[in-house]
Structure 1
Amino acid sequence: MTKPATLAQKILARAAGREHVEPGEIVTVKVDLAMAHDSSGPRRWRARLEALGTGLWDADRVVIVSDHYVPAVDAESASILKTTRDFARDYGVRNFYDMRGICHVILPEHGHLRPGLFVAGGDSHTTNGGAFGCYAAGFGATDMTAIAATGETWTNVPHTIRVEISGALGAYVSAKDIMLALCRDLGMGNHFKAIEFGGETVQAMDMEARMVLANMTAELGGEVGLVEPDAVTLAHIRSHGGEIDDSEIIRWQSDEGAPYEKVFTLDASRLAPQVAAPHSPANSSDVTRHEGVEIHQAYIGACVGAKLSDLHMAASLLEGRKVAQGVRLLVAPASAKVTQAAAKDGTLAILADAGAVMLPSGCGACAGLGAGLLAEGEVCISSTNRNFKGRMGHKDAEVWLGSPFTVAASAVTGRITDPRKLASERSRAA
């Protein structure tokens, strides 16, 4: 009889053509989907593939997204984008999304993800895809070149940490606050681990919230973040053009008695809005500890912080209010589809009326590229996933992390602010 296995083990066993794999084993696996963006992909791949005298192993299983250098702000950026476009044309990559949004949002938006897949991506936040019950991990450019050429790679079968989350999230508390708390409490040193998220709180989340958990597994140091698929997963896949059978829910679950390295529990009902102080997501604590820190910029952007639900969070606090004098509120929707939906439902109008400046969809300031960079001594509160020194501009700037609720509230007051307080002021005024 097959031993009980975690979801990570099950996916890797399938990809390796094995009945069972054990944590700690090194296995060769077949890749179901390879993803790269304009920074990590064609400009790194082309010369190597030409030197090897080979092409892509399967162009239809390769997704390329231009999101880091878009739109071009200088000649070097323009050259990188041209290289990306030429590569997609020359190598027959039909799944090329040029200036349509951030790669980690594009994949689920276009139905590329489903439970049980092994997804290799040329970016550390490829973990985002694990929200769909697939093994989605980031690889370096050299490994990604080999994957693009052969459709195979090797990996260490990770031990799994189960994060069991219970309790209802309070008002103005989100999945982002959960992840900031975990960066502090579970730490950022969980290297080569799979982090599996479960419990009643996760089951109650929509897919965009689950993506936050999987995405910021990278900040925990994890190899992959996983959420077991359910009816919510299947509904999202189908509504975005993917095909999936109901039986996939049963197939891709961790077994009872699965060999978790440890189980970490978190009561979400006790969680307050969180902020991470510079220069690490692990420097997280209740927002009340840092209220009053003056800011120059508030940024709502990135794969983790500018989906439609994130813009809705911000708009719920910005409606009828104005951004504080001397503060820049920059909003870069995560994709063109997000922009279209936010325009249709009135969200963009609320943000603009409040004084937000709209930026193009892309990685932009989050990755230290394009518009929105910080000068020496400036302070920014951001819905992004990282606040490392120099990440968003000058090395002597400060980046604080928070949820879109907290970023929006702080933009209104000009200081780091508990969004619950801003909401309560409106309630009293009413």
Structure 2
Amino acid sequence: MGMTMTQKILARHAGLPSVEAGQLIEAKLDLVLGNDITTPVAITEFDKAGLTQVFDRDKIAIVLDHYTPCKDIKAAQLCAKARDFARRFQITHFYDVGQMGVEHALIPEKGLAAPGEVIIGADSHTCTYGALGAFSTGVGSTDMAAGMATGLSWFKVPSAIKVVLKGKLPRFVSGKDVILHLIGQIGVDGALYKSLEFAGEGVAELTMDDRFTIANMAIEAGAKNGIFPVDEQTRTYLQGRVDRPWEAVEPDADAVYEREVVIDLSALRPTVSLPHLPSNTRTVDEAAGMELQQVVIGSCTNGRLKDLQEAAEILRGRKVASGVRCIVIPATQQIYMDAMAQGLIQVFIEAGCAVSTPTCGPCLGGHMGVLSDGERAISTTNRNFVGRMGPVSSEIILASPAVAAASAVTGVVTDPATIMGGER
């Protein structure tokens, strides 16, 4: 029986000739990741178990990104605990304020994820690195502690859904619209503990930033992971970033999939998710006119350079609507500098946006943009659950950077083509 990409990677790391869906395996890890919220919990478990060494200080990454720069005493204490652990074990890839970024943008940027690797992270959006053809998935802090000590983790081999992409994205439609469309189609549990495996000629039409966005939100469909094939775009992205050997995998011709979903990229419209589930999707036309108090452009989903470029294209020469707060957060220091070099930061500031140092901040209702009672935000983040960004009476609409920027200008949910003179 043939194997999917994920199954091939897991078999290789388990030292087995083949695996099948539902099989329990123990696999070697190429990277163990944590952040300022989850790492301190893992450290507590690590110390409680009496562990005294890590398996490989070069294969652990700790990124202080959620509440940093620290928003309060508790956040500062959590970061201090992570810093102490990093010093204690001389963790090579430790990223603090001034060097850090939003973890799932920073890890690929630093070359810490590569095709064919197995990566776990104590954060649900660790599935982002499937954009590079890796098997990456989120785990709990206890699993992170065990992984740091042993370099091993147990997995149940997932079955798979094949998502076939065809056609080419229209203007103002991006990877965010693709994944929101897919989640709206299959539901938030439509891929529960399954691998979303992307295929088809449409993959080549997606930029790497589009793929990172899509893989990032695989978890919002319940997926164990999302994974893309490795092509020339992937190889170009990896050049100058990854200096170690890596080996990509391809699915077998007779690989078994539970179902196949076909998406015609050329038929997609800008898409939003209304409160309070990512699956509550509408086209921007159906949601147009909903009033907003805040706009957030950033996060591990959409804080990359392409995202900022798309937002700046719409905001250039325009102003954020009166009564609306627009917060822009480049996902890493490098992205921030690239955006400055291209004049994007000036565009945002002149438009009336607040531009932040890299942080997860408002995405989880942490800081840098918490909502008040009854307020509604449109955000390029990944979750719009009740109380996610503020009180339970607040609301979040998920959208692409283009839709978010257009909506910032008008103060209501808006089709970018409306702002840009009807161009599509």
SS of aligned partner of 1:27: strand
Partner of 1:353: 350
For 1:15, which of 13, 16, 23 is the aligned residue?
13
For 1:90, which of 88, 99, 103 is the aligned residue?
88
Q: By how many angstroms is 1:393 displaced?
A: 1.0
Amino acid at match of 2:225: V
Partner of 1:210: 211
SS of aligned partner of 2:302: coil
Distance 2:360 2:290 in 1: 26
Amino acid at match of 2:316: E
Determine if contact 2:278/2:384 at 8 Å carries over to the other structure: yes
Percent identity between the two aligned chains: 39
Unmatched 5+ stretches in structure 2: none
Partner of 1:237: 238
Q: By how many angstroms is 1:319 displaced?
A: 0.7
Distance 1:242 1:222 in 2: 30
Distance 2:63 2:13 in 1: 25
Runs of 4+ that moved beyond 2 A: 45-53, 239-245
Partner of 1:175: 175
Partner of 1:130: 130
Determine if contact 2:292/2:413 at 8 Å carries over to the other structure: yes
Q: By how many angstroms is 1:45 displaced?
A: 2.4
Q: By how many angstroms is 1:244 displaced?
A: 4.5
TM-score by length of 2: 0.97
Summarize the alignment of residues 173-322 of structure 1 with structure 2, pairs less than 5 Å apart. 173-189=173-189, 190-244=191-245, 248-249=247-248, 252-322=249-319
SS of aligned partner of 2:272: strand
Amino acid at match of 1:92: Q
Summarize the alignment of residues 93-112 of structure 1 with structure 2, pairs less than 5 Å apart. 93-99=91-97, 100-112=100-112
Matched, 1:50 2:47: yes
SS of aligned partner of 2:373: coil
For residues 51-94 of structure 1, what are the alpha-carbon distances to aligned partners after superposition, in whole Å with 9 as ceiling and x for unaligned?
A: 32222121111011000110111111111111111111111101
Determine if contact 2:169/2:205 at 8 Å carries over to the other structure: no
Matched, 1:145 2:145: yes
Determine if contact 1:197/1:213 at 8 Å carries over to the other structure: no
Q: By how many angstroms is 1:204 displaced?
A: 2.0
For 2:392, which of 392, 395, 405 is the aligned residue?
395
Partner of 2:36: 38
Determine if contact 1:16/1:27 at 8 Å carries over to the other structure: yes
How many residue pairs are counted as aligned between the two chains? 420
SS of aligned partner of 2:372: coil
Partner of 2:79: 81
SS of aligned partner of 2:237: helix
Q: By how many angstroms is 1:378 displaced?
A: 0.5
Q: By how many angstroms is 1:48 displaced?
A: 2.4
Answer with 367-376 or 228-237: which moved more. Answer: 228-237
Matched, 1:334 2:335: no
Determine if contact 1:118/1:136 at 8 Å carries over to the other structure: yes
SS of aligned partner of 2:235: helix
Determine if contact 2:32/2:60 at 8 Å carries over to the other structure: yes
Q: Report the CA distance shift for 1:32/1:243 in structure 2 as closer, same or farther (over 3 A).
A: closer
For residues 12-58 of structure 1, what are the alpha-carbon distances to aligned partners after superposition, in whole Å with 9 as ceiling and x for unaligned?
A: 000110010011111111111111111111x1122322232222121
Distance 1:143 1:340 in 2: 35
Q: CA RMSD in A?
A: 1.3
Distance 1:23 1:423 in 2: 48
Unmatched 5+ stretches in structure 1: none
Partner of 2:70: 72
